[in-house]
Amino acid sequence: MPFPMPPVPTPGFLYTCRLTPDGVFTFDAPAADTERVYELSPQDMGRMLTEGRLPFLPADSTALWDSIHKSAGELAPWNGDFEVRGQRTGRESWVRIHAMPRRDPDGSVNWTGLIIDITDLKSAERELRKAYQELAFHVENTPLAVIEWDGEFKVSRWNEQAERVFGWTASEVTGKGPFDWVFIHPDDVPVCQRLMGRLVSGEEPRNVTVNRNLTKAGNVVWCEWHNSVRLDDNGRMASLLSLALDITDRHNAAEALARSEARMRSALDSAKMLGWDLDLVANRWETTANFCDFHGLPVGPDYSDPENAIAAVHPDDVPSVLEGRRRAIERNEPMRYEFRGRVPTPSGFPRWFSTRGQVLRDTNGNAVRLVAVTTDITERKRAEAERATLDKQLLDAQKWESLGVLSGGVAHDFNNILTVVLGNAGLARKGLPPLSPASGYLEQIEEACRRAADLCRQLLAYTGREHAATATTADLNQLIRASAALLAVPTSKSAGVRFDLADSLPAVRADPAQVRQVLMNLVMNAAEAVGDDGGEVLVETRLFDVPVGPLGGYHLTPIPGRYVRLVVSDTGPGIPPLVQARMFDPFFTTKFAGRGLGLSAVLGIMRTYGGGIRIRTTPEHGTTVEVLWPAVAEARPVSAIPGHNTAGLALVVDDEMYVREVTASTLEELGYEPLLAGDGPTAIQLFRLYREGIRIAVIDMVMPGMSGDQLLEELRAIEPNLPAVIVSGFTDRHVIRAGTRTEFLQKPFHPEELLAVVARLLALA
């Protein structure tokens, strides 16, 4: 539809008329216009046509009905001027009808046309005929340019108004034909020649045309020409009278209006806007752009019908759209609402639209039209959704960081305490007689320390701060098969675990214990979800390449690259939305209390390795957990190399006194003489003094002032080949460059673990 413009008075209105194969007519036009012209409603008009009656004069004309049926049969345009008698008052008037028929698949014929009230025009013609009779008396005073042509089509009369409009005097043009001087615009010459030919031949005794003319000064002037020809008894032209009205201003205004409308359409299209006008009386609407293209709809029903057009709105948003229109109509409020489209974008994101408009009312205050603009705001909504996602990720990161600092600090201090307890228990047990009753108690202390150490490792795994230097290059399938015996006896009585492991997968960098922890957590959750319903737990591995670009649905998003994908899926009831929002929170569980860190530990482990996690769940259709392990180019398994030791000095650096003592006592078991330091500067001084005798250094990672890796860098600057053991229960994301002559030992550790690491290092020397 054209975008709503300032109202321009017009006597015409559009209508549609339908003739079904069984001879039934329906008539559709604005009720007010039908009433004004015919004094009939559109429904009465349809019934009258069906009954074979016409509101024209002469009524029931056979020729007129023949023309209607001919138009229907040949699908030819139906045009004409008709005199109308009002059905109630008997008022007589004239209409001009232009109609174009088309045939529907069911055989019905639909005329779409324009009915123009030309009563005034007919009256003007009557007056014009009267004026022709008096033309000889008034021709020089008329506002029309009056030109008379003789039988040879030469100018015989040229009034003063013609001189004023075109610039030439009568003496300059008398005796000339219309093409003997530059009078008609060159582009309009062919059309004028055809029209004049029909006049001269008598085919058209009169006509009305609009064309461009040129003035004596060369300016273009638009004229509306009313031509009338008089033929002699032999049928040859005797004279031709032309009355020309200068309509240049009117034409320029119409062109300006058309350009303005085109600019408006272009601006709306560029701004992704659709202007529309809903006729509340006729229940029809028009739009400034293609309705289907704008809303992404398939071509189908007649969307000019509001009942069909509502299909563009998402079903869940239809009530709010209708309510927005109702409030605007009933409360005279500005119409404002947003809604989703029924058809999403190609990417799957919903189409979003915003409508702003107002109600137009008649003189009685009745709502007659809704005029509005609908804007495509999909990109804005997409940006808002992405911003909300980023905000949530930022809040999650802040939450994890806060919990990580707290958990890491607790784990660090607790690991130092456990190191002292575990170390002293081990040393004490070594000093007891073989059958001492105290040995059993010390073993229980050591076992309790190990269990506490496991909990600390879970805390560090959640925070993503557990050190990954203990990881080896491993075959994920091999680690899963090694755990199969444990996974074959899940907590559920009915669920079975099935494996589908892809062949020829690349190796991954992983700590076997952490792989088992991830696998056990996921399989246990899946088995508990299946319960006793006889479902299944499936463990799969596949090669997976993460592409460049945005990824959806990941709780921990991996960077582009190659991964080995571990998938654990179940046929359980799925995860409720409220649980999904908290399933990665530490110590959150839907089971009994005290179940540990669960998925939060899995999240921390994968964060440590730079992997990814995605959980997909559907109510009553199960849950799938996908874990991505970064692949390495080739596997280089690390094997323990037994070795021997040689007595010498051992530098022990730890800010905790009791940890230093336990470490020193353990090294003495190997025959080393320990040098103890509580901080980095002291250790450097001792190393400079006893450099020649120091065989190995055992260094705590986290110390005030100078960290363990910084200290090792300083010592290696003095002695590049110094063997070193880095120990810590909390690394705070420091990257320890494990390699030749460097080993990492996780706190708390048993004395025998320290002895084994030292022996392995010195065996490489």
Edge-to-edge order in the sheet of strand 12-19: 25-28, 12-19, 109-117, 92-103, 78-85, 56-57
User: Mean pLDDT throughout 307-326?
Assistant: 88
Residues 6+ apart with CB under 8 A from 339: 313, 314, 317, 320, 321, 352, 353, 355
pLDDT at 41: 92
User: Mean pLDDT throughout 674-678?
Assistant: 87
Report yes or no: 160 and 140 within 8 Å, Cβ to Cβ: yes
pLDDT at 467: 47
pLDDT at 291: 81
Query: Within 10 Å of residue 538's Cβ, how many Cβ atoms?
Result: 17
Provide the 3-class DSSP secondary structure of residue 480. Answer: helix
pLDDT at 604: 76
Question: What are the tens digits of pLDDT across the range 99-114?
Answer: 999 999 999 999 999 9
More confident site: 413 or 727: 727
Question: What are the tens digits of pLDDT across the range 416-434?
Answer: 777 777 777 777 777 778 7
pLDDT at 755: 85
pLDDT at 109: 94
pLDDT band at 636 (very low <50, low <70, confident <90, very high): very low
Residue type at 314? H
Is pLDDT above 70 for 492? Answer: no
Is pLDDT above 90 for 406? Answer: no
Residues 6+ apart with CB under 8 A from 402: none
The whole-angstrom distance between residue 414's C-alpha and the CA centroid of its chain comes to: 49
pLDDT band at 280 (very low <50, low <70, confident <90, very high): confident
pLDDT at 705: 86
Question: What are the tens digits of pLDDT across the range 209-249?
Answer: 999 999 999 999 999 999 999 998 888 889 999 999 999 88
Report yes or no: 679 and 657 within 8 Å, Cβ to Cβ: no
Q: How many residues are given for the chain?
A: 765
Report yes or no: 20 and 49 within 8 Å, Cβ to Cβ: no
Lowest mean pLDDT among 390-404, 452-466, 556-570, 587-601: 587-601
Question: What are the tens digits of pLDDT across the range 507-520?
Answer: 888 777 788 888 88
Average pLDDT score over the chain: 80
Concatenating the DSSP letter of every residue in 312-348 gives GB-GGGHHHHHHHHHHHHHH-PPEEEEEEBSSPPTTS
Q: Largest Cα–Cα distance of the chain, in whole Å?
A: 152
Domains of the chain: 12-119 (3.30.450.20), 134-249 (3.30.450.20), 271-376 (3.30.450.20), 377-446+640-765 (3.40.50.2300), 476-630 (3.30.565.10)
Is pLDDT above 70 for 731? Answer: no
CA dist 678 and 662 (Å) reads: 14
